[in-house]
Chain A
Amino acid sequence: MEDLGGLVVKFAVVVNEGPYTHQASDTAYQFTKSALDKGHEIFRVFFYHDGVNNATRLTVPPQDERNVQKNWSELAEKHSLDMVVCIAAAQRRGILDADEAKRHGKGDGSANIAPGFRISGLGQLIEAGIQADRLVVFGD
Chain B
Amino acid sequence: MSTLHTVNKSPFERGSLASALAHALPGDAVLLIEDAVVGVRAGETAAAQALKAAMPGCAIHVLGPDLAARGIAADGVVDGVTIVDYGGFVDLAAAHDKVQAWL
Contact = CB atoms under 8 A, between A and B. Distances in A.
B103 A137 contact: yes
B34 A34 contact: no
A3 B29 CA distance: 15
Interface residues of B, number: 25
Given A1-B95, A2-B95, A40-B94, A136 B87 contact: no
Q: What is the interface residue range for chain A against chain B?
A: 20 to 34
Which of B59, B65, B101 has its CB near the most chain A CB atoms (within 10 A)?
B101
Interface in B38-92: 59, 63, 65, 85-87, 89-92
A118 interface: no
B93 A136 contact: yes
Interface in A1-53: 1-4, 7, 9, 11, 16, 23-24, 27, 30-31, 33-35, 37-38, 40
B86 A33 contact: yes
B90 A34 contact: yes
B8 A136 contact: no
Interface of B: 2, 6, 8, 29, 33-35, 59, 63, 65, 85-87, 89-96, 98-99, 101, 103
Given A2-B95, A34-B89, 11 more contacts: A1-B92, A9-B93, A23-B35, A31-B89, A31-B90, A38-B91, A134-B93, A136-B6, A136-B93, A137-B101, A140-B103
